Structure 1
Amino acid sequence: MKSTTTTAAAPTIHHADFVELHEDVSHSPLWNADLAPTTLAQRTWSTWHIAALWIGMSVVITTYQLAGGMISAGMTWWQALITILLGNTIVLIPMCLNAHAGTKYGVSFPVLLRSSFGTVGANVPAMLRAIVACGWFGIQTWIGGEAMDVLIGMMFPGWKTLTTELIGLQLHTWLALLLFWGVEVYFIIAGLEQIKHLESWGSPLLLIGGLALLGWCVWKAGGIGPVLEGSVKLQKEQHNFWAIFPLSLTGAVGYWATLSTNIPDFTRYARSQKSQMLGQALGLPTTMTLFAFIGIAVTSATVIIYGYPIPSPVDLMAKFNSIAIVLFATLIIFLAQLTTNLAANVVSPSNDFSNLNPRLISYMTGGLITAVIGMLMMPWKLMGDYFIGVWLVGYSGLMGAIGGIMICDYWVLRRQQLNLKELFEPKGRYSFSGGVNWRAIAALVLGIAPCLPGFLHAATHGKIAPPEFLKVIYQYAWFVTFGLGFVLYWLLMLGHPSVAADLEER
């Protein structure tokens, strides 16, 4: 998504919800066409466009697996459903708050970060967000590759004989994974415009496929009652709802904690504040909850049908003997993973990497960097036992602190007042000390610190054993770091000259 700025020397123009930059800042080393603020003419996304974006990003296999994982951990169907709805309702609040600046000023996430972290310091949170996006890119690629591996194995039995092991994966799995990855790289190079035709098909097909799978489970298990009874049966065997609820809720919040920070990358194209808020409220919690229900019901049904929960649709797909069914399922997964990955996990890191050196790193280059790092992060490990307790909860601690600092800076301290031109000035009011606002960095580090021991405990499967209260703090990682980041930044920034300068322009 590219934006351009005009070269007229007129002052900044205010228009209702919008601020448009008319000064020429293209000479700045902090500017390139991808990071430039959107013009009024480019802010055309309606409520439907924003809602459709969320529908497309929510109807994806990992939504299904998030819900299925809660069933496997011992929740009943209604407990898992409420947990996911609650988590998405909570994360919707910072989502809409951070989206406001994108809509008003037309700026992307890394550019907005300059007001709080500094023109150079913004790269710290931007890179943290970018690395998380790379991990998600790898995870979605892994799921697409898995589906292709199952399909090719059914069509060509000799495929499974390619069993040489490389970095924990067999050769046939590597080939399928690289095939899917290569398709994604093609679209990154060709540009996101090329994927628009697929976007209109991917999510609806996945929804149809999910409903078909749900129908099969209802038929196989003997009705919707027995289907949902599967989760109740599993919980009776485990009895651990309150033990897993905090971690599961934080995981549900963490699932979209990433987008709650970089949502300006999308809402910079919104038609109005009403469009972005209503579109998000309609698109995010409803779609996530509805599609999660399919994952919940199908995983519950597998307890009745097979005697144990199968939270992965790819693993369930492998149990079918019909090539036609597996082909249809693979096509659905292929389109859904492709469209969602390129929308949710390429746009943000591409902008973030570009922000490192706007003159050298373009949007396409940033996308290619994302694709490579995503594979190096070994997503097949992230999708194992690490998915909720380590991956989702772990990075939620990073995103919570960043989100708390951003909201405090924009809403409490600056009261939605920024100087758009100064965001592109290397030695302007947002340069702080050498381009870095140490107060924001300190708030970020101190906000994250209490959750680090718990993360290490989870990541090492208990080999590192901190005090019990630190393990409990980690279970609420996003909430803890959001609150600490917000309060610490507020205390450190009170009376700062850059804040006073922005407020004087109100």
Structure 2
Amino acid sequence: MSKKGNYLKSPDLLPISHGERNISPFGFSVIWIGMAIVLAAFAIGGAGIQTLPLGWVIVATIIGSVAIGIFMTIIGDIGVEHGLSFPVYMRAPFGTIGTHIPSLVRGVAASCWFGINTYFGATAINGILNLLYGYDNWFLCFLLFAVVQLVNTALGIKAIERFADLAAPIIIIISCWMYVSLSDKAMAEGRDIWVWVESPVTGGAAFTAFMVVVMANMGFWATLAADMPSLSRYFKAPKNERNWFRRNKAQIAGSVITMPIVNTFMVIIGAVSYVAVLNYDPIVGLQQAASGFILGILLLMIVLAQWSTNTSANVIPAATIFSNIGGPRVPYWIGVVLAGVVGIISQPWSLFGIIIPALLVIGGILSAIVGILFTDYYVLRKRRVNVQELYEEDGQFRGMNGINMAGMIAWVIGGVASYYFPSYSFIVGFVVGAIIYYVLAKHWWFVKYKQAEIEDPSDEKYLGITVGRDWIVEEGLDPVVVPEATNPINT
């Protein structure tokens, strides 16, 4: 029986019911169009074109994007099946207290990316205002742009989807315009975008350069692969559907199809920008490739891109994590504010010079979490979760003073291993974390701390939407199966 005021039962962290899921496969694809347009993609293209022809950069990007999209979909089933967010499910492999440590790393990283994207969006806004009115104050633009994005996110997931519906077609059109402008600039400089390479490499060096592009794409999106459940729990999915692919069709449409297409196009633009002006920063490239009204429209693309990316990929995960750590006293909207504060005080205008390699390292470290989640959810629990216990302070997930040492040890070892192999950080972190956790959890931790769904792997007791269940977590209640016709609201 849980105690009054149980901090694990913050209203914003309770399971999402079937009736509350409102994002369709098309809606998630639209959200991805915005999320995939980020500065890191331009940087990957700009770095890749320095050693490889554009064709090979594209192939490497497609491979890396599809691979990480598959990982996102696999882990995202936690949200689809049970309606659980990333920090809540992390209580299973890390403990009710231990979950805060790796989750906080992801939350801070997401907040820093929020600051960086806001900074670049603000410089684009400042550029537009300078063109129109001669106004020049990027810092004020930065603060105002941050506030607008945070308010948009605090209004909820539906407000974000509505914004994405508006922004996505504009972003696509202007992205094509950007590509044409930069290609023309490259041709004017006497450089063919398909054959020009600054420092071409061959043999083993070419393969290494190819794999760096693959892993750069996987490493950057590793953070979202870990906390995809925070988004996927809002996806529409049919009840009583046992086919994994049909149940996750929204994820597949967005993460495996739409994201690789958009991400690859952004990498191409970054590469073309470097060929054109020897700088992958799109704002620098645009200012040299266009002027007047056209430049203003293209800068608008940067603003919309950063906005749509920040709300879904950065602020939502960070806010959910901060709310989980703070308990009922830190509702979701306060988590949103905290994400904004961390992003601002990180001084992104100074941070950007080192943030890309730094966050790729963090992505490698968090890939160990992806491996641990995969092992815990699919291999050990076989998708069955004793959800009610995730919200009990003294339940089966408490472990040793709230910490699951099997998860913590596996994370540390996997993270350290990935650090020493940065070019292969995602694969190394995932494999090492998954294997170490399996051995420690199966043969040590879960022998000592029994897990009901492992001891009694019952579909009817521990599966969610597959058996038509909405998980209801309230004071003194057991999990129940809610009839199809009802639309419960968790409180």
Give CA deviations for 1:340-364 in whole Å, capped at 9, x if unaligned: 2111111111111111122111111
Q: Cα deviations across residues 16-52 of structure 1 (Å, max 9, x unaligned)?
A: xxxxxxx999853211221011122223543333333
Rounded to whole Å, the distance in 1 between the matches of 2:127 and 2:424 is 37
Larger CA deviation: 425-434 vs 91-100: 91-100
> Aligned partners of 1:304, 1:352: CA distance in 2, in Å?
40
CA distance in 1, matches of 2:184, 2:329: 57
Q: 2:185–2:289: 8 Å Cα contact kept in structure 1?
A: no
Aligned residue in 2 for 1:348: 317
Cα distance change, pair 342–275 in 1 and its aligned pair in 2 (3 A): farther
Deviations 1:64-94 (A, max 9, x none): 44323322x4221111111111112221232
**1:222 shift after superposition:** 5.4
1:491 aligns to what SS in structure 2?
A: helix
Alignment partner, residue 262 of structure 2: 291
Q: Which residue of 2 aligns with 1:16?
A: none
Structure 1 residue 402: Cα displacement: 0.8
Tell me the distance in 1 between the aligned counterparts of 2:211 and 2:358. 13
Measured after TM superposition, the shift of residue 229 of structure 1 is: 3.0
Q: How far did residue 490 of structure 1 move?
A: 1.0
Q: 1:396 to 1:447 in 2, by over 3 A?
A: same
Which of 248, 264, 280 aligns to 2:229? It is 264
Residue of structure 1 equivalent to 2:11: 33
Relative distance call for 1:69 and 1:295 in structure 2 (3 A) is farther
2:216 to 241, 246, 251: 251
Out of 67, 73, 81, the residue aligned to residue 58 of structure 2 is 81
1:206 aligns with 2:177: no
The whole-number CA distance in structure 2 between the counterparts of 1:178 and 1:44 is: 31
Alignment of 1:47-86 (within 5 A): 47-71=25-49, 73-86=50-63
Post-superposition Cα deviations, 1:373-401, rounded to whole Å, max 9, x if no partner, equal 112223234433542x3322x01222111
Change in 2 beyond 3 A, CA 1:106/1:229: closer
1:370 counterpart = 2:339 = yes
Code of the aligned partner of 1:113? M
Q: What does 1:374-413 align with in structure 2 at a 5 Å threshold?
A: 374-384=343-353, 386-387=355-356, 389-392=357-360, 394-413=361-380
Is the contact between residue 54 and residue 280 of structure 1 (CA under 8 Å) also seen in structure 2?
no
Contact 2:273–2:281 (CA under 8 A) maintained in structure 1: no
Among candidates 424, 427, 449, match of residue 476 of structure 1: 424
TM-aligned CA deviation for residue 208 of structure 1 = 0.6
Partner of 2:403: 436
Shift, 1:320, TM fit: 5.0
Aligned equivalents of 1:300 and 1:448: distance in 2?
A: 30
Residue in structure 2 matched with residue 94 of structure 1 by the alignment:
71
Secondary structure in 2 matching 1:384? helix
Q: Aligned letter for 2:349?
A: W
Pick aligned residue for 1:415 from 357, 382, 390: 382
Residue 417 to residue 323, structure 1, CA distance change in 2 (3 Å): same
Residues 441-452 of structure 1: matches in 2 within 5 Å? 441-452=408-419
Aligned to 2:488: none
Tell me, yes or no, if the aligned pair for 1:107 and 1:268 is still in contact at 8 Å. Answer: yes
Ranges in structure 1 where 5+ consecutive residues have no aligned partner: 1-22, 160-171, 453-469
What residue identity is the alignment partner of 1:255? F
Q: In the aligned structure 2, how far is the partner of 1:390 from the partner of 1:66?
A: 14
Matched, 1:104 2:113: no
Tell me: CA distance 1:115–1:340, structure 2 relative to 1, closer, same or farther (3 Å): same
Whole-angstrom distance in 2 between the partners of 1:195 and 1:500? 37
Q: Which SS does the other structure have where 2:353 is aligned? A: coil
* Change in CA separation of 1:379 and 1:121 when aligned onto 2, cut-off 3 Å: same
Distance in 1 of aligned mates of 2:103 and 2:275 = 45
Kept in 2, the 8 Å contact 1:226–1:301? The answer is no
Deviation at 1:284, TM superposition (A): 2.9
CA distance in 2, matches of 1:321, 1:99: 41
Q: Deviations over 1:225-282 (max 9, x none)?
A: 964335x342448995344334332221022111111111122223144356333333
Separation (CA, whole Å) in 1 of partners of 2:383 and 2:154: 36
Q: Distance in 1 between matches of 2:38 and 2:56?
A: 21
**Within the alignment, does 1:491 sit opposite 2:439 as a pair?**
yes
Q: 1:300 to 1:451 in 2, by over 3 A?
A: closer
Number of the residue aligned with 2:462: none
Which residue of 2 is the match for residue 359 of structure 1?
A: 328
**For residue 440 of structure 1, what is the amino acid of its counterpart?**
G
TM-aligned CA deviation for residue 428 of structure 1: 0.6
Tell me the number of residue pairs that the alignment of Structure 1 and Structure 2 aligns. 446
After superposing the two structures, state which structure 1 stretch, 409-418 or 325-334, moved more: 325-334
The one-letter code sitting in structure 2 at the alignment partner of 1:229 is W
What TM-score do the two structures reach when normalised by structure 1? 0.80
2:352 and 2:308 mapped to 1: Cα distance? 20
- Structure 1 distance, partners of 2:84, 2:184, is 50
**Percent identity of paired positions between Structure 1 and Structure 2:** 26
Give distance in 1, aligned partners of 2:321 and 2:303.
26
SS in 2 for 1:203: helix
**What is residue 427 of structure 1 aligned with on the other side?**
394
Q: 2:198 aligns with which of 224, 234, 237?
A: 234
CA distance in 1, matches of 2:368, 2:268: 34
- Counterpart CA distance in 2 for 1:188 and 1:277 is 24
Taking the aligned partners of 1:304 and 1:96, their CA distance within structure 2 comes to 34
Q: CA–CA distance in 1 between the matches of 2:428 and 2:54?
A: 28
Q: Which has the higher contact order (CA 8 A, sep 6+)?
A: 2
Give the aligned residue type for 1:334.
V
Rounded to whole Å, the distance in 2 between the matches of 1:237 and 1:175 is: 44
Does the CA-based 8 Å contact 1:227-1:298 persist in structure 2?
no
Partner Cα distance (1:202, 1:359) in 2: 34
Contact persistence 1:134–1:349 (CA under 8 A): yes
Cα deviation 1:49-69 (Å, max 9, x = unaligned): 333332332244543443233
**CA distance in 2 between partners of 1:53 and 1:374 (Å):** 22
